[in-house]
């Protein structure tokens, strides 16, 4: 099971942040003046901050007449109690133990094509298909972590045979869309439910390829309710028929090779305007499951009460930031300050295709980030996708020379400063002086005090260079809570200070 899958499970608390972190604090001005209590900053201009909130039924309509319709009742499960269920950002992992595990409706849903966000303007300079992945370079072979390296009978306390009645059916090799090598899987099932699920991973790869890489007629053939390959794979698992299962995988490999060799897959990718979020999540989850999950306990060395508290922004949230809030393009630069194991850096490099930087000071997270980077590059080649350059720096981002230089060119800077101390947030403001005009800073705490207006008396405050907009995120966006929260988009605009010079 991958990191993102675990976080979607109700009640999951792995790597959850301690409750000592609050939303109210007192901090000193950069110039030494005392500021009002810092709760939730607002736009630094006199007018009201734009906030993304759901519309109210009593809002004034376009005709200027206030509609006094009865106020809807809020159930105990409503958002007011922060427990409203929203659609999961990644498919929940399931084991095929019976016909109830994967319903007919689940298989029917595969006939729907992958949805791509039509509200996001395509990047004409973004080349999504990897030419290298569809070539014979190096025989299509490269270093990667196979599923069989993670889930294997060599770990008898963790895994057992998936088809005990067919001892000869111990492994399969699964074809991906590209011309690259196949991935090796040992046909095992986990003893503990939270361990890697081989059969689920194979199924999810097949489903993702059908949704994204094949035309409708080919997808319909594979998802036919009676004779489709996915239906037969499911039946083989239900009946513990190992020979039937391996035969289905060989049929899958042959079919995918045919669609690649006749140019069908390349044509489909060339028609993409963006990469679907579900495909992004699958690649990120596969990468994490093969590199970080086996070593996840190393992340628990983070110390609560310091700047080194671990928490992740989940893919749906990052996608919103990259594509909607900042509208990043492939010729721009993304920087993540405090990048942890590198999830956001990897996602930006693939989703946008941009040059992507991260900086982390905790050695254990840096080591895992480097493992992820290498595996992510291999995974992108398996899936036939190109990505931007990835740079991972070690050390304190306040003094790291590589980060200080790239910040002068950066277009978007991400700072997950939810648990940062006030002192570190103040130091970051000084770091932002190096940003170019128009650069955007995305943070979970604002760097501008609540209600602060640019006036002559505070004209020397460095935070006046930031024009801040407050936004809302909802459930399934961060790893430490399922509750909604706020985040901030700050744009560097030095002209705001020049007005008072």
Say yes or no to pLDDT of 460 above 60. no
Higher pLDDT: 29 or 214? It is 214
**Residue in this structure with the two tokens 């499970």, named with its chain if needed:** 9
**pLDDT bracket for residue 89 (50, 70, 90):** very low
384-435: pLDDT as tens digits = 999 999 999 999 999 999 999 999 999 999 999 988 888 998 899 999 999 9
Average pLDDT over residues 287-314: 77
Residue 49 near residue 469 (C-beta atoms within 8 A): yes
Can you tell me the distance from the alpha carbon of 164 to that of 202, in angstroms, rounded to the nearest whole number?
Answer: 19
Specify the pairing of strand 183-186 against strand 440-443: unpaired
Q: What is the pLDDT of residue 218?
A: 94
Q: What is the pLDDT of residue 237?
A: 97
Q: What backbone phi and psi angles, to 5 degrees, belong to 367?
A: -65, -45
HSE-CB for 341 with a 13 A CA cutoff:
29
Q: Counting beta carbons within 10 angstroms of the beta carbon of residue 95, is it exposed (0 to 12), middle (13 to 18) or buried (19 or more)?
A: middle
Return the biggest CA–CA distance within the chain. Answer: 82
Residue 176 near residue 147 (C-beta atoms within 8 A): no
488 three-class SS: strand
Tokens encoding 111 = 């006939």
Q: Counting beta carbons within 10 angstroms of the beta carbon of residue 460, is it exposed (0 to 12), middle (13 to 18) or buried (19 or more)?
A: middle
Average pLDDT score, the chain: 80
**pLDDT bracket for residue 181 (50, 70, 90):** very high
**pLDDT bracket for residue 96 (50, 70, 90):** very low
Say yes or no to pLDDT of 95 above 60. no
Residue 458 near residue 33 (C-beta atoms within 8 A): yes
Say yes or no to pLDDT of 51 above 60. no
**pLDDT bracket for residue 465 (50, 70, 90):** confident
**Residue in this structure with the two tokens 């740079």, named with its chain if needed:** 391
Specify the pairing of strand 333-337 against strand 412-415: parallel
Q: Provide CB contacts within 8 A for 458, sequence distance 6+.
A: 29, 33, 452, 464
**pLDDT bracket for residue 293 (50, 70, 90):** very high
Tokens encoding 115 = 């949805």
Residue 270 near residue 129 (C-beta atoms within 8 A): yes
Strand partners, 34: 28
Can you tell me the distance from the alpha carbon of 148 to that of 155, in angstroms, rounded to the nearest whole number?
Answer: 11
Residue 372 near residue 365 (C-beta atoms within 8 A): no
Q: What backbone phi and psi angles, to 5 degrees, belong to 407?
A: -60, -25
Can you tell me the distance from the alpha carbon of 190 to that of 303, in angstroms, rounded to the nearest whole number?
Answer: 32
Q: Provide CB contacts within 8 A for 238, sequence distance 6+.
A: 96, 97, 98, 99
Can you tell me the distance from the alpha carbon of 364 to that of 292, in angstroms, rounded to the nearest whole number?
Answer: 11
Can you tell me the distance from the alpha carbon of 298 to that of 292, in angstroms, rounded to the nearest whole number?
Answer: 9
Average pLDDT over residues 33-50: 37
Can you tell me the distance from the alpha carbon of 219 to that of 72, in angstroms, rounded to the nearest whole number?
Answer: 43
- Helical pair 242-261 and 229-238, crossing angle rounded to 10 deg: 160
């Amino acid at each position: 099971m991958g990191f993102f899958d675990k976080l979607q499970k109700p009640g999951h608390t792995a790597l959850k942040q301690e409750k000592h972190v609050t939303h109210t604090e007192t901090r000193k001005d950069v110039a030494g003046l005392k500021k009002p209590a810092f709760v939730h900053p607002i736009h630094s201009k006199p007018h009201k901050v734009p906030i993304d909130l759901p519309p109210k039924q009593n809002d004034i309509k376009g005709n200027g007449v206030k509609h006094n319709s009865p106020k809807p009742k809020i159930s105990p499960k409503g958002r007011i109690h922060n427990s409203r269920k929203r659609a999961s950002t990644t498919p929940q992992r399931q084991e095929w133990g019976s016909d109830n595990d994967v319903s007919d409706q689940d298989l029917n849903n595969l006939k729907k094509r992958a949805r791509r966000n039509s509200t996001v303007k395509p990047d004409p300079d973004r080349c999504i298909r990897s030419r290298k992945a569809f070539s014979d370079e190096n025989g299509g072979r490269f270093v990667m972590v196979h599923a069989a390296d993670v889930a294997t009978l060599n770990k008898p306390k963790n895994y057992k045979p998936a088809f005990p009645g067919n001892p000869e059916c111990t492994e399969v090799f699964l074809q991906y869309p590209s011309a690259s090598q196949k991935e090796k899987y040992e046909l095992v099932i986990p003893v503990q439910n939270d361990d890697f699920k081989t059969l689920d991973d194979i199924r999810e790869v097949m489903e993702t390829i059908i949704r994204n890489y094949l035309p409708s007629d080919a997808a319909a053939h594979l998802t036919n309710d009676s004779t489709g390959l996915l239906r037969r794979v499911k039946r083989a698992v239900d009946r513990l028929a190992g020979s039937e299962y391996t035969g289905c995988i060989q049929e899958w490999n042959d079919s995918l090779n045919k669609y690649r060799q006749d140019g069908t897959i390349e044509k489909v990718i060339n028609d993409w305007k963006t990469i679907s979020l579900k495909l992004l999540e699958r690649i990120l989850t596969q990468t994490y499951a093969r590199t970080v999950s086996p070593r996840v306990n190393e992340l628990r060395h983070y110390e609560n009460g310091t700047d080194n508290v671990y928490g992740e922004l989940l893919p749906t949230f990052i996608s919103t930031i990259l594509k909607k809030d900042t509208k990043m393009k492939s010729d721009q630069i993304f920087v993540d300050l405090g990048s942890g194991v590198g999830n956001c850096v990897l996602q930006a490099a693939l989703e946008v295709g941009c040059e992507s930087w991260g900086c982390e000071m905790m050695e254990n997270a840096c080591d895992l980030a480097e493992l992820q980077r290498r595996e992510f590059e291999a995974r992108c080649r398996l899936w036939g996708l190109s990505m931007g350059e990835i740079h991972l720096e070690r050390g304190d981002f306040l003094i790291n020379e590589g980060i200080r230089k790239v910040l002068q060119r950066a277009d978007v800077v991400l700072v997950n400063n939810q648990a940062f101390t006030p002192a570190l947030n103040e130091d970051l403001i000084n770091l932002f002086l190096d940003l170019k005009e128009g650069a955007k800073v995305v943070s979970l705490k604002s760097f501008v005090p609540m209600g602060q207006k640019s006036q002559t008396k505070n004209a020397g405050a460095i935070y006046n260079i930031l024009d801040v907009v407050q936004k809302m995120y909802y459930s399934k966006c961060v790893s430490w809570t399922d509750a909604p929260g706020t985040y901030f988009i700050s744009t560097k605009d030095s002209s705001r200070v020049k007005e008072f010079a």
